[in-house]
Amino acid sequence: MKTVLFALRVSDLERSLAFYTTVGYVDLGTVPFEDGSSLVWLRLPDEPSVSLELVHRPADGPVEVGGFAHFAIEVESLADTLARLTAAGLHPGAPELPAGPDGPKTSWLIDPDGYRIELVEWPPGGAPQPENS
């Protein structure tokens, strides 16, 4: 098994699409529905297929983010990513070392609806792997 994608309901599709393409996602297309709703499929450049779906349902009213913690995006260089996002007008948080100097470098980014995105640069050797039992 593998995760295919996750979906986020958004209040303003154009605003969210602009945000996520600035982050680095590639727009794979829109699926419109007769009721005015639509889905937009996105992926990051190194991903083989859709990984994020923006769901726009204007008739459902405002988006209220609740119970959603965050999702994470792995980056090659956190410093370079933060510089690029800041230059593009986004406001990522300051770099953090949540596991100390030998652990991952992270930063937080908030999308237009309030969804939290963790940007992660793994230390040399990559992400920790679970031990086999």
Query: pLDDT per position in the chain (133 positions), as tens?
Result: 878 899 999 999 999 999 999 999 999 999 999 999 999 999 999 999 999 999 999 999 889 898 888 999 999 999 999 999 999 999 999 999 999 999 999 999 999 999 999 999 999 877 776 666 4
End-to-end CA distance of the chain: 19
What's the confidence (pLDDT) of residue 94? 97
CATH number of 65-133: 3.10.180.10
Handedness of CA 11, 63, 6, 18 (dihedral sign): positive
Residue 87's SS3 state is helix
